[in-house]
Amino acid sequence: MPFFKTKLSSFLLLFLIVFESNAQNISVHDPVVIKEKDTYYLFCTGKGIKTYSSKDLKNWKPEPAVFTEKPVWATSVVPNFDNHIWAPDILFYNNLYYLYYSVSAFGKNTSAIGVATNVTLNPKDKNYKWTDHGIVVQSHSNRDEWNAIDPNVIIDENNTAWFSFGSFWDGIKMFKLSPDLKSIAEPQEWHSIAKRKNTPLSGGSSAIEAPFIFRKNGYYYLFTSWDLCCKGKESTYKVVVGRAKNVTGPYVDKQGNLLAQGGGSIVTKGNENYFGVGHNSAYTFDGKDYLFYHGYDAQQNGKPMLIVKELQWDADLWPVITE
């Protein structure tokens, strides 16, 4: 009996360790996070937009996908669309949650970004219901040198909403959003805020995507991801940053290079624990700044996993994380 009890105790301990490990490690691409009351909600790429919740930013549980059925307009953009939705962004504004999301075919700029709203993120709330408002912006092959994916919305000091987006092609674009945050403001105002294509600093590479703008220290920090995502062990993704005093730029890196001319300072890149890391988001929660992103776990055969790091600031007010 003592032997049995010892074995049983060992099994239970191992079970608890494995359970805790699984609870704290979720497989995600392109995570964004927001807090409602005492709960954090994470949205990421996946069927219908994968969703998780957490009380502590460590232990996550799955929640219902945003879209149980694909958006009605999606097949007009991507024929045979299978409801695999990319790279969401979440924002709370004027008592509504705005969720922006990407519909695209891989490697093409036949893409569109849509938006849905909800009054709550708690699926158990009687008022929980996502309402889709359709396309915000769309790119077309043989017309546009930009790609309508990877949205991010920032509210500036004048309470004006700005919408940045983009992948490869002609880089990261930005336009002013309408006051209801559902369409491009008129008259239209567009900016090109970062690119790598055919620039000396990039060596001719056009691999830039996933903008995220974080306001802090009197600056707007523009994070983007360089190089190749979604290749497991072969991924070369990395997070870079530049900053500007104005939301529309010009954004510069630590050396003063313009991001619009291929500049960017590396914040984090792959290491022995995670291959190519990137597609980040940044927030302040309860007085602490955090960086969320995905990386391909070297211990799990390159599986994409959530990484959460506390964000620090050096003496010159540039973002730093501890690897």
Tell me the mean pLDDT in the region 143-167. 95
CATH number at residue 111: 2.115.10.20
Element (H, E) at 16: helix 2-24
pLDDT tens track for 120-147:
999 999 999 999 999 999 999 888 888 9
Do the domain assignments include residue 9? no
Instruction: Give the domain range for residue 260.
Output: 26-320
Do the domain assignments include residue 165? yes
Residue numbers belonging to the annotated binding site for substrate: 30, 107, 147-150, 167-169
Do the domain assignments include residue 2? no
Q: List the one residue out of 3, 13, 24, 28 whose CA is nearest residue 304.
A: 28
Predicted structure pTM score: 0.91
- Predicted confidence at residue 21, as pLDDT, reads 34
Q: What is the rounded CA–CA span in Å between residue 244 and residue 247? A: 7
Lowest mean pLDDT among 34-43, 264-273, 279-288, 310-319: 264-273
Angle at 238 between CA 237 and CA 241, to 5 degrees: 145
pLDDT tens track for 270-300:
888 999 999 999 999 999 999 999 999 999 8
Tell me the mean pLDDT in the region 42-63. 97
Quote the DSSP letter at residue 55: S
- Predicted confidence at residue 200, as pLDDT, reads 78
Do the domain assignments include residue 295? yes
Do the domain assignments include residue 38? yes
Do the domain assignments include residue 1? no
Lowest mean pLDDT among 10-14, 56-60, 317-321: 10-14
Do the domain assignments include residue 193? yes
SS3 24: helix
Quote the DSSP letter at residue 70: -
CB atoms near residue 84 (< 10 Å): 15
Tell me the mean pLDDT in the region 153-160. 97
Rg (CA), the chain: 20
Query: Whose structure tokens read 């090109």?
Result: 192
Q: What's the total number of domains in the chain?
A: 1
pLDDT at 2 over 60: no
Do the domain assignments include residue 11? no
For every residue of 174-210, DSSP letters joined together read EEEBPTTSSSB-SS--EEEEE--TT-GGGTT---EEE
pLDDT at 3 over 50: no
pLDDT at 155 over 60: yes
- Catalytic residue ranges: 30, 209
- Predicted confidence at residue 142, as pLDDT, reads 83
- Burial label for 82, CB within 10 Å (0-12, 13-18, 19+), is exposed
pLDDT tens track for 5-31:
444 344 444 433 333 333 357 999 999
Q: 319 and 312 in contact (C-beta within 8 Å)?
A: yes
